[in-house]
Protein backbone atom coordinates (compact mmCIF):
# COMPACT_ATOMS: atom_id res chain seq x y z
CA UNK A 1 0.00 0.00 0.00
CA UNK A 2 1.52 3.35 -0.99
CA UNK A 3 1.69 6.13 1.55
CA UNK A 4 0.28 9.61 1.53
CA UNK A 5 2.08 12.68 2.80
CA UNK A 6 0.34 15.52 4.56
CA UNK A 7 1.33 18.76 2.88
CA UNK A 8 -1.14 21.05 4.55
CA UNK A 9 -3.69 20.78 7.29
CA UNK A 10 -6.54 22.78 8.78
CA UNK A 11 -8.95 21.76 11.52
CA UNK A 12 -11.93 23.20 13.34
CA UNK A 13 -13.21 21.66 16.55
CA UNK A 14 -15.83 24.04 17.95
CA UNK A 15 -17.55 21.22 19.79
CA UNK A 16 -20.87 22.46 21.14
CA UNK A 17 -20.82 25.86 19.41
CA UNK A 18 -24.20 26.99 18.07
CA UNK A 19 -24.56 27.80 14.36
CA UNK A 20 -25.09 31.52 15.00
CA UNK A 21 -21.80 31.74 16.88
CA UNK A 22 -20.01 29.80 14.13
CA UNK A 23 -21.47 32.16 11.54
CA UNK A 24 -20.25 35.19 13.42
CA UNK A 25 -16.81 33.71 14.01
CA UNK A 26 -16.24 32.49 10.45
CA UNK A 27 -18.07 35.17 8.50
CA UNK A 28 -14.80 36.70 7.28
CA UNK A 29 -13.77 33.42 5.61
CA UNK A 30 -16.42 33.88 2.93
CA UNK A 31 -17.49 36.57 0.47
CA UNK A 32 -19.75 39.26 1.89
CA UNK A 33 -23.23 37.89 2.45
CA UNK A 34 -22.31 34.31 1.69
CA UNK A 35 -22.19 33.04 5.27
CA UNK A 36 -25.80 34.07 5.77
CA UNK A 37 -26.89 31.34 3.37
CA UNK A 38 -24.48 28.66 4.57
CA UNK A 39 -25.13 25.89 7.04
CA UNK A 40 -22.93 25.38 10.07
CA UNK A 41 -21.32 22.35 8.44
CA UNK A 42 -20.87 24.27 5.21
CA UNK A 43 -19.08 27.08 7.05
CA UNK A 44 -16.88 24.72 9.05
CA UNK A 45 -15.85 22.66 6.04
CA UNK A 46 -15.51 25.76 3.90
CA UNK A 47 -13.28 27.47 6.45
CA UNK A 48 -10.78 24.58 6.51
CA UNK A 49 -10.99 23.61 2.85
CA UNK A 50 -11.01 27.11 1.42
CA UNK A 51 -7.39 27.98 2.28
CA UNK A 52 -6.26 24.88 0.35
CA UNK A 53 -7.72 26.48 -2.78
CA UNK A 54 -9.30 23.40 -4.36
CA UNK A 55 -9.07 23.54 -8.13
CA UNK A 56 -10.59 21.68 -11.07
CA UNK A 57 -7.80 19.09 -11.34
CA UNK A 58 -7.70 18.24 -7.62
CA UNK A 59 -9.37 15.12 -6.28
CA UNK A 60 -11.71 15.99 -3.42
CA UNK A 61 -12.67 13.28 -0.93
CA UNK A 62 -15.31 14.38 1.57
CA UNK A 63 -16.31 12.37 4.63
CA UNK A 64 -19.30 13.03 6.87
CA UNK A 65 -21.21 10.42 8.81
CA UNK A 66 -24.29 12.52 9.46
CA UNK A 67 -24.04 15.31 6.92
CA UNK A 68 -26.39 18.23 7.11
CA UNK A 69 -28.13 17.36 10.36
CA UNK A 70 -29.65 20.77 11.06
CA UNK A 71 -31.06 21.10 7.56
CA UNK A 72 -32.36 17.55 7.77
CA UNK A 73 -34.11 18.30 11.06
CA UNK A 74 -35.61 21.50 9.73
CA UNK A 75 -36.66 19.88 6.46
CA UNK A 76 -38.40 17.04 8.30
CA UNK A 77 -40.19 19.62 10.43
CA UNK A 78 -41.27 21.63 7.39
CA UNK A 79 -43.84 18.99 6.38
CA UNK A 80 -46.58 18.98 5.26
CA UNK A 81 -45.34 22.07 3.38
CA UNK A 82 -41.95 20.68 2.44
CA UNK A 83 -39.27 23.34 2.04
CA UNK A 84 -37.46 23.09 -1.31
CA UNK A 85 -34.46 25.00 0.03
CA UNK A 86 -34.05 22.76 3.05
CA UNK A 87 -34.52 19.70 0.83
CA UNK A 88 -31.60 20.85 -1.31
CA UNK A 89 -29.28 21.67 1.57
CA UNK A 90 -30.12 18.48 3.47
CA UNK A 91 -28.71 16.34 0.68
CA UNK A 92 -25.20 14.95 1.08
CA UNK A 93 -22.62 16.37 0.14
CA UNK A 94 -23.96 19.89 0.59
CA UNK A 95 -21.39 20.61 3.31
CA UNK A 96 -18.55 20.58 0.81
CA UNK A 97 -20.56 21.88 -2.14
CA UNK A 98 -21.36 25.19 -0.44
CA UNK A 99 -17.76 26.44 -0.65
CA UNK A 100 -17.26 25.14 -4.17
CA UNK A 101 -20.51 26.57 -5.52
CA UNK A 102 -19.72 29.87 -3.83
CA UNK A 103 -16.42 29.94 -5.67
CA UNK A 104 -17.89 28.55 -8.92
CA UNK A 105 -15.07 26.02 -9.03
CA UNK A 106 -15.76 22.79 -10.92
CA UNK A 107 -14.14 19.51 -9.97
CA UNK A 108 -13.73 16.49 -12.15
CA UNK A 109 -13.28 14.06 -9.28
CA UNK A 110 -15.35 14.48 -6.12
CA UNK A 111 -15.95 11.51 -3.80
CA UNK A 112 -18.40 12.16 -0.96
CA UNK A 113 -18.49 9.36 1.61
CA UNK A 114 -20.76 8.54 4.48
CA UNK A 115 -20.47 5.81 7.09
CA UNK A 116 -19.80 5.03 10.73
CA UNK A 117 -16.77 3.53 12.43
CA UNK A 118 -15.23 2.59 9.08
CA UNK A 119 -15.57 6.05 7.59
CA UNK A 120 -12.05 7.27 8.36
CA UNK A 121 -10.44 4.14 6.95
CA UNK A 122 -12.57 4.19 3.84
CA UNK A 123 -11.97 7.88 3.21
CA UNK A 124 -8.23 7.28 3.50
CA UNK A 125 -8.41 4.33 1.11
CA UNK A 126 -10.39 6.46 -1.33
CA UNK A 127 -7.66 9.09 -1.16
CA UNK A 128 -4.90 6.49 -1.50
CA UNK A 129 -6.22 4.91 -4.69
CA UNK A 130 -6.26 8.18 -6.61
CA UNK A 131 -3.53 8.76 -9.14
CA UNK A 132 -1.53 11.88 -9.74
CA UNK A 133 -2.15 15.44 -8.68
CA UNK A 134 -3.28 16.76 -5.34
CA UNK A 135 -5.76 14.88 -3.24
CA UNK A 136 -7.73 16.96 -0.78
CA UNK A 137 -9.34 14.99 2.02
CA UNK A 138 -11.86 16.90 4.07
CA UNK A 139 -14.75 16.12 6.32
CA UNK A 140 -16.88 17.29 9.15
CA UNK A 141 -19.98 17.08 11.26
CA UNK A 142 -22.39 19.56 12.76
CA UNK A 143 -23.98 19.08 16.17
CA UNK A 144 -27.62 18.16 15.78
CA UNK A 145 -30.59 18.90 18.04
CA UNK A 146 -33.48 16.42 18.15
CA UNK A 147 -31.76 14.01 15.79
CA UNK A 148 -28.75 14.05 18.13
CA UNK A 149 -31.00 13.12 21.00
CA UNK A 150 -32.15 10.19 18.87
CA UNK A 151 -28.57 9.12 18.19
CA UNK A 152 -28.66 9.99 14.50
CA UNK A 153 -26.71 13.24 14.51
CA UNK A 154 -23.30 14.21 15.80
CA UNK A 155 -22.64 15.28 19.39
CA UNK A 156 -19.89 17.63 18.23
CA UNK A 157 -19.24 20.03 15.41
CA UNK A 158 -15.92 19.60 13.67
CA UNK A 159 -14.15 19.87 10.35
CA UNK A 160 -10.79 19.03 8.86
CA UNK A 161 -9.06 19.40 5.53
CA UNK A 162 -5.81 17.81 4.41
CA UNK A 163 -3.74 18.41 1.32
CA UNK A 164 -2.15 15.08 0.46
CA UNK A 165 0.59 14.04 -1.93
CA UNK A 166 1.87 10.64 -2.99
CA UNK A 167 5.52 11.73 -2.67
CA UNK A 168 7.30 13.25 0.32
CA UNK A 169 8.67 16.75 -0.16
CA UNK A 170 10.59 19.19 1.98
CA UNK A 171 7.45 20.76 3.30
CA UNK A 172 5.63 17.54 4.18
CA UNK A 173 4.10 17.67 7.63
CA UNK A 174 3.41 14.00 8.17
CA UNK A 175 2.79 10.58 6.71
CA UNK A 176 -0.30 8.38 6.55
CA UNK A 177 0.02 4.70 5.80
CA UNK A 178 -2.56 1.95 5.86
CA UNK A 179 -1.99 -1.77 6.04
CA UNK A 180 -4.27 -4.74 6.07
CA UNK A 181 -4.74 -6.45 9.39
CA UNK A 182 -6.67 -4.08 11.62
CA UNK A 183 -9.98 -4.64 13.35
CA UNK A 184 -13.43 -3.87 12.02
CA UNK A 185 -14.13 -1.00 14.43
CA UNK A 186 -11.90 2.02 14.11
CA UNK A 187 -11.51 5.71 14.59
CA UNK A 188 -14.54 7.94 14.63
CA UNK A 189 -14.41 11.12 12.59
CA UNK A 190 -14.21 13.01 15.89
CA UNK A 191 -11.20 10.91 17.02
CA UNK A 192 -9.52 11.46 13.66
CA UNK A 193 -10.06 15.20 13.69
CA UNK A 194 -8.66 15.35 17.22
CA UNK A 195 -5.47 13.55 16.14
CA UNK A 196 -5.03 16.01 13.33
CA UNK A 197 -5.74 19.06 15.47
CA UNK A 198 -3.21 17.98 18.09
CA UNK A 199 -0.78 16.62 15.50
CA UNK A 200 -0.74 13.49 17.55
CA UNK A 201 0.78 10.29 16.19
CA UNK A 202 -1.38 7.21 15.98
CA UNK A 203 -0.84 3.54 15.32
CA UNK A 204 -3.80 1.19 15.52
CA UNK A 205 -7.09 0.12 14.04
CA UNK A 206 -8.58 2.48 11.49
CA UNK A 207 -11.65 0.30 10.89
CA UNK A 208 -12.85 -2.05 8.14
CA UNK A 209 -9.85 -4.31 8.59
CA UNK A 210 -7.24 -1.59 8.11
CA UNK A 211 -4.39 -0.61 10.41
CA UNK A 212 -3.38 3.05 10.34
CA UNK A 213 -0.05 4.69 11.08
CA UNK A 214 -0.08 8.47 11.37
CA UNK A 215 3.34 10.07 11.85
CA UNK A 216 4.34 13.72 12.11
CA UNK A 217 7.69 15.08 10.90
Per CB under 8 A, residues contacting another protein are 1, 65-67, 72, 75-77, 79-84, 87-89, 91-94, 97, 100-101, 103-116, 118-119, 122, 125-126, 128-131, 147, 150-153, 180, 184-185, 207-209
Q: Closest separation between CB of residue 13 and another protein, Å?
A: 21
Judged by CB, which is closer to another protein: 24, or 77?
77
Q: Closest separation between CB of residue 103 and another protein, Å?
A: 8
- Contacts of residue 2, Cβ cutoff 8 Å, sequence gap at least 6: 128, 166
Judged by CB, which is closer to another protein: 67, or 194?
67
Q: Closest separation between CB of residue 36 and another protein, Å?
A: 15
- Reduced to 3 states (helix: H, G, I; strand: E, B; else coil), residue 25 is helix
Give the CA distances from residue 119 to residues 15, 54, 114, 178, 187, in Å, rounded to whole numbers and listed in that order.
20, 22, 7, 14, 8
Q: Closest separation between CB of residue 199 and another protein, Å?
A: 27
Judged by CB, which is closer to another protein: 104, or 169?
104
Judged by CB, which is closer to another protein: 9, or 208?
208
Backbone dihedral angles phi then psi of residue 178, each to the nearest 5 degrees: -120, 140
Distance CA 215, CA 211 (A): 13
- Reduced to 3 states (helix: H, G, I; strand: E, B; else coil), residue 9 is strand
Q: What letter would DSSP give residue 39?
A: -
Amino acid sequence: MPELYIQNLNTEMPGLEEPAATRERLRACFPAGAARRMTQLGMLVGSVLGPLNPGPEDVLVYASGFGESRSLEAYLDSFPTASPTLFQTSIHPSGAQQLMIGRQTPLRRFFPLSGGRQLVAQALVTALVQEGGRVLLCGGEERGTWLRECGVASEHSLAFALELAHVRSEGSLGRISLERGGGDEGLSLHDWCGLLARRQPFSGDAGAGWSLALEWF
